[in-house]
Amino acid sequence: MGSLDSNFSVNSTEFKPLDPEEFRKQAHTMVDFIADYYKNIETYPVLSQAQPGYLRARLPETAPYRPETFETILQDVEKSIIPGITHWLSPNFLNLSCFKALVVGSYKAQLVTRSSAPSSPRETVHSRTWALIISGKLVVYGSDQTHSTYTKACKLAGIYPRNIRSVPAGSDTCFAMSPVALRKVIDADVAAGLVPLYLCVTVGTTSTTAVDPLEDLADVANDYGVWVHVDAAYGGSACICPEFRHYLDGIELVDSLSLSPHKWLLSYLDCCCLWVKKPGLLVKALSTNPEYLRNKPSESDSVVDYKDWQVGTGRRFKALRLWLVLRSYGIANLQSHIRSDVRMAKMFEGFVKSDSRFELVVPRIFSLVCFRLNPHPGSYPGYLDLLNKKLLEWVNSTGGLYMTHTVAGWTLHAEVCGGGYTHRRVSRSRRLEVN
Amino acid sequence: MGSLDSNFSVNSTEFKPLDPEEFRKQAHTMVDFIADYYKNIETYPVLSQAQPGYLRARLPETAPYRPETFETILQDVEKSIIPGITHWLSPNFLNLSCFKALVVGSYKAQLVTRSSAPSSPRETVHSRTWALIISGKLVVYGSDQTHSTYTKACKLAGIYPRNIRSVPAGSDTCFAMSPVALRKVIDADVAAGLVPLYLCVTVGTTSTTAVDPLEDLADVANDYGVWVHVDAAYGGSACICPEFRHYLDGIELVDSLSLSPHKWLLSYLDCCCLWVKKPGLLVKALSTNPEYLRNKPSESDSVVDYKDWQVGTGRRFKALRLWLVLRSYGIANLQSHIRSDVRMAKMFEGFVKSDSRFELVVPRIFSLVCFRLNPHPGSYPGYLDLLNKKLLEWVNSTGGLYMTHTVAGWTLHAEVCGGGYTHRRVSRSRRLEVN
């Protein structure tokens, strides 16, 4: 296949997330901002004097298209965010995220009014639901390409392991879940007296970035009253570009969606957005109301108590991090970032196609190219696996590129994780699947 | 009760976690360190070339007694930690914690050898266990002072809500769980054909910092083969001082312990240490082994795969943060920090005792003083509640002090969260209970 010139560039206008020197400048500004806050902490009222909802009027409804300057954003933090914060000054020092926000700007800097009042756990326990849970009859559905945490999480939630379905998704559907196959599996379960509970649809699977057909799958699930969750952890980020948005068609039919900006939206671990159509159901299941957490804003239903959306009580102010990312890059640059990665993947796909020793294993959708070395078509599969394993080991031994591998269908694959082949930058979002 | 002179000082040698100017200096150094790393990222091999276990030989077995300089610690990060890191350079920029460590220094900077090999989920599902889970017969035990997440987490794990026990812990035991009461409850459950599964013992409850008698409770639980977990989220930090360590007597009898340094050990949210006596049990329940995560070090059992200790796959490098705290303060200063808070609480306790209008509600153990206003002993309880509620509202309206409240036993209490009354610093760890 030969080597690329080390000065080779994909595109001279390629999006560059942040120059180290620009980072240095912004981070020094941030340090002074935090040190000044820490120095003046005693001038703030300990408990926020802001009224619930005050932030909605102060902030725009949507993310800006163009980037905003770091100075503008910091001014907004000072003027709009800090007045809504309870100044728990724990004596730890590297901490902007320790603020316990009374009012937290969510994904779109909107404040959602809590849809149902907290009630005591005993009231929210529905005997019929629990009778079902302990009956061992509840069934959950994913494909054999669904993320490995699907099985773990369902087991942890008390789903009997033999009721955790992994609908086979092979190369005939490009590793996407088939609505026809799903209906067959559900029908068989219903006939056996089981109760379908939950379906996980994936937009961008881990192995091959396959996209399950959301709308058709949701249609099937809705026929049985099944909760539909969309795992768009990786692929969801691409949907900020209009050309990818159709992968979310049918989203109005689902119950929840998760998206991890730390995967492909310039945010760091861990940053996961969860959208729930009816948050009241979550609150019913998870709210507790110990006396020491009671307060007027919560009891007036004018704020969202995120403690009722999760198991733990405390939360880090991760929304602030994402808000900083959205404002400092703007939609325009975030789209450029996604498109730049996709463009590089397309280019690599071209290299694979033009070299007869390699073959594409599955069509490229986002920024992952799945390919394998197959110099002598018709070779014995075991020989091919060995060949690709050797290629993988050889590439990784160079240290300049990190390849991971996967198995999709019945053949062994290897995927390259991280870039470096352009000698310009390394990104974990381009994974080039070999074998 | 009068007011304190605004220049009043508890103790001239009081421990000061970090001066804002010292923070500024260290943080600027850290920013340059990160910017330089980012600038030179391409000179590092993407995949770590270090051998599993290499770090154990390079780092001390225990935390230092005296603080170390920031420069020394950063040098160790550069020389010892970075070579063990896979350089996923996600293009996000404020990120030292995004490093996906191949080898992570744990609490004592030790590397624990994984005690059992990962195996497929199907192999680890024990039919007998699952038959029990779905039988609705498993019972869990805490007291009515156990943290509110106990109920939530147990429900989430599929425990039938009517099998979640909250053993009453009243003022007669200073709100600690009684081993005699626990045994009675378990005996009744066993007689009813139920199966005792789990006991949560708390060292430092949320409402009153009560300490459950660990050794005696574990003795009871062990008679029934119950998993004993110690929630030392708050009180555990105090146990770094020899004078508090006896609260953990009997720790050899328990199965797991959690401690949250973000509560009282100068770390920020969220930082929780979990110790498990037999990690193999956790791995059996939670390990998955998808092809794309397979690698030689994991398969050789020479590293700990923390993905098998949790639901998610990725982890932030929180251990690094705690390691920085331990080294930069040293045991000596961390002990001073705990003792300084306890000393201030003792002083406040003295104020309450010397004022006939107030009374202590429960003996002080750590840095929480539980008291209430009771100017006319023998008053009607409703009047007392109202009086203390008014005091709470009045104090909070000043903005200078943040009080939260709780109910312990049958009387309403209010607790002060945050300090400020010395006009010197605010700390969330001194909570002074009123009413």
Give the contacts of A25 (CB within 8 A, at least 6 positions apart).
none
φ, ψ of residue A225 to 5 degrees: the values are 65, 30
Q: CA-CA distance, A162 to A138, in Å (whole number)?
A: 10
Copy the structure tokens of residue B286: 């939670």
Mean pLDDT of all residues belonging to chain B? 78
To 10 degrees, what angle do helices B179-191 and B214-223 make?
Answer: 20
Say what the pLDDT of residue B366 is: 94
- Contacts with A189 (C-beta within 8 Å, 6 or more apart), sequence order: A139, A165, A196
Residue numbers in B near A270 (CB within 8 A): 312, 314, 316
**CB distance A270–B316 less than 8 Å?**
yes
A-chain residues near B42 (CB < 8 A)? 420, 423, 425-426
- pLDDT of res. B408: 63
Q: At what angle do helices A20-39 and B20-39 cross, to 10 degrees?
A: 170
* pLDDT the model gives residue B52: 82
Query: What's the gap in Å between the CA of B380 and the closest CA on chain A?
Result: 21
Contact assignment for A207 to B31 by CB distance below 8 Å: no
Q: Of A97-106, B108-117, B140-149, where does the model show the most confidence?
A: B140-149
- pLDDT tens-place string over residues B224-236: 999 999 999 999 9
Q: B270, A134: Cβ pair inside 8 Å?
A: no
Q: Is the pLDDT of residue A426 over 60?
A: no
Task: Identify which has the larger pLDDT, A432 or B35.
Answer: B35
Domain boundaries, chain B: 20-111+324-329, 121-304, 355-434
B122 pLDDT band (50/70/90 cuts)?
very low
A39/B20 CB distance under 8 A: yes
Nearest chain A CA: its distance from B404 CA (Å): 6
Q: Which secondary structure element, helix H or strand E, spans residue A407, and what is its range? A: strand A403-408
CATH number given to B20-111+324-329: 1.20.1340.10
**pLDDT at position B255:** 96
Q: Report pLDDT digits (tens) over B43-88.
A: 777 677 788 888 888 888 888 999 899 889 889 888 888 888 776 6
pLDDT band with cut points at 50, 70 and 90 for residue A291: low
More confident residue, A79 or B143: B143
Per residue in B396-420, pLDDT tens? Answer: 787 777 666 776 654 333 333 333 2
pLDDT surpassing 80 at residue B306: yes
Write out chain A residues lying below 8 Å of B291, CB-based: 207, 405-407, 412
Q: For residue A399, give the chain B residue with the closest CA.
A: B45
Residues 6+ positions from A419 with CB-CB distance below 8 Å? A344, A401, A425, A426, A427, A430
Q: Do B292 and A206 touch (CB under 8 A)?
A: yes
Verify whether the Cβ–Cβ distance B206 to A292 is below 8 Å.
yes
CB contact under 8 A, B34 and A23: yes
Burial B306-334 (b: 16+ CB within 10 A, else e): bbbbeeebebbbbbbbbbbbbbbbbbebb
Q: Report which DSSP code applies to B77.
A: I
- Chain B environment of A94 (Cβ under 8 Å): 23, 27, 30, 268, 321
Q: Is A302 on the interface with B (CB under 8 A)?
A: no
Name the strand (E) or helix (H) holding A435: none
- Asked if A285 has any chain B CB less than 8 Å from its own CB, the reply is yes
A121-288 maps to CATH 3.40.640.10: yes
CA distance A241 to A334: 9
Mutate to test the interface with A, among B21, B92, B271, B283 (most CBs of A within 10 A): B92
% chain B with pLDDT above 70: 76
The answer to whether residue B210 scores a pLDDT higher than 80 is: yes
- Stretch A105-112: mean pLDDT: 23
What count of CB pairs under 8 Å joins A to B? 282
Two tokens, residue B246: 């006896």
Mutate to test the interface with A, among B16, B18, B19, B23 (most CBs of A within 10 A): B23
d(CA B145, nearest CA chain A) in Å: 10
Q: What is the per-residue DSSP string for A290-345?
A: -GGG--HHHHTT-S--GGGGSSSS----HHHHHHHHHHHHHHHHHHHHHHHHHHHH
Helices (H), B205-317: 214-223, 235-238, 261-264, 279-286, 296-299
Q: What is the pLDDT of residue A37?
A: 86
Could you read off the pLDDT of B329-387 as tens digits, one per residue? 999 999 999 999 899 889 989 999 999 999 888 899 998 888 888 898 888 878 888 88
Asked whether the predicted pLDDT for residue A386 surpasses 80, the reply is yes
Residue B112 predicted with pLDDT over 70: no
Q: Give the full edge-to-edge strand order of the sheet including B358-362.
A: B358-362, B368-373, B431-434, B411-417, B403-408
Task: Please give, rounded to a whole number of angstroms, the shortest distance from the CA of B407 to a CA of chain A.
Answer: 6
Give the per-residue pLDDT at A142: 98
For residues A77 and A99, what is the distance between their CA atoms, to the nearest angstrom? 12
Q: Cβ–Cβ of A91/B316 closer than 8 Å?
A: no
Contacts with B, A 163-202, CB within 8 Å:
none
In A281-378, beta strands by DSSP E? 358-362, 368-373
Minimal CA separation from B67 to chain A, in Å = 15
Per-residue pLDDT tens over the stretch A232-286: 999 999 999 999 999 999 999 999 999 999 999 988 888 899 999 999 888 888 8
Q: How many CB atoms lie within 10 A of CB B300?
A: 11
Give pLDDT, residue A409: 55
Residues of B in contact with A425 (CB under 8 A): 42, 89, 91
In whole angstroms, what is the distance from residue B183 CA to residue B216 CA? Answer: 10
Query: Please, which pLDDT band fits residue A422 given cuts at 50, 70 and 90?
Result: very low
- Per residue in B317-328, pLDDT (tens digit) is 888 889 988 998
Name the residue of chain B whose CA is nearest to A208's CA. Answer: B292
Pick the CATH number of B121-304 from 1.10.10.60, 3.40.1110.10, 3.40.30.10, 3.40.640.10: 3.40.640.10
**pLDDT over 90 (residue B175):** yes
- Please, what is the average pLDDT of chain A? 78
The pLDDT of residue A308? 87
Residue A213, min C-alpha distance to chain B (Å): 23
Under 8 Å between Cβ of B393 and B372: no
CA–CA gap between residue A311 and residue B44 (Å, rounded): 39
pLDDT of residue B268: 82
Strand ranges for B226-266 from DSSP E? 227-231, 256-259
Contact B400 A46 (CB under 8 A): yes
Q: What is the pLDDT of residue A10?
A: 43
Average pLDDT for A30-45: 84
Task: Record the tokens describing residue B187, joined without a space.
Answer: 């005996």
Look-up of token digits 């920013």: B31
A85-99, A117-131, B238-252: least confidently modelled range: A85-99
What is the reported pLDDT for B384? 85
Q: Which one of B38, B130, B312 has the shortest CB-CB distance to A20?
A: B38
**Amino acid identity of A39?**
K
Give A318-343 pLDDT, tens digit per residue. Answer: 888 899 889 989 999 999 999 998 99
CB distance from B123 to chain A under 8 Å? Answer: no
CB nearest to A121's CB, from B87, B161, B418: B161
Residues 72-111 of chain B with CB under 8 A from chain A are 86-95, 97-98
Confidence of residue B395 (pLDDT cuts 50, 70, 90): confident
| CATH dotted code for A355-434 | 3.90.1150
Kindly state whether B339 is in contact with chain A, defined as any CB-CB distance less than 8 angstroms: no
Q: How many CB atoms lie within 10 A of CB B113?
A: 12
- The predicted-structure confidence for A161-177, as pLDDT tens digits, reads as follows 999 999 999 889 999 99
Min Cα distance A61 → chain B (Å) is: 24
* Chain B nearest-CA residue for A144: B290
For the segment A13-32, the average pLDDT, to the nearest whole number, is 81
- Whether B94 shows a pLDDT value over 50: the answer reads no
pLDDT of residue A119: 28
pLDDT at A85: 79
Chain B residues whose beta carbon lies within 8 Å of the beta carbon of residue A33? none
Is the CB of residue A123 less than 8 Å away from at least one CB of chain B?
no
Amino acid in the structure at residue A286: L
**C-alpha pair distances (Å), B422 with each of B345, B348, B400:** 12, 10, 11
DSSP track, A149-197:
HHHHHHHHTT--GGGEEEE---GGGTTPPPHHHHHHHHHHHHHTT-EEE
Q: Residue A328: what pLDDT? A: 87
Smallest CA–CA distance, residue B178 to chain A, in Å, is 21
- Give residue-wise pLDDT tens across range A185-226: 999 999 999 999 999 999 999 988 999 999 999 999 999 999
For residue A20, the model assigns a pLDDT of 86
For residue A249, say if its preceding peptide bond is cis, omega within 30 degrees of 0. no
pLDDT band at B307 (very low <50, low <70, confident <90, very high): confident
pLDDT band for position A410 (cuts 50, 70, 90): very low
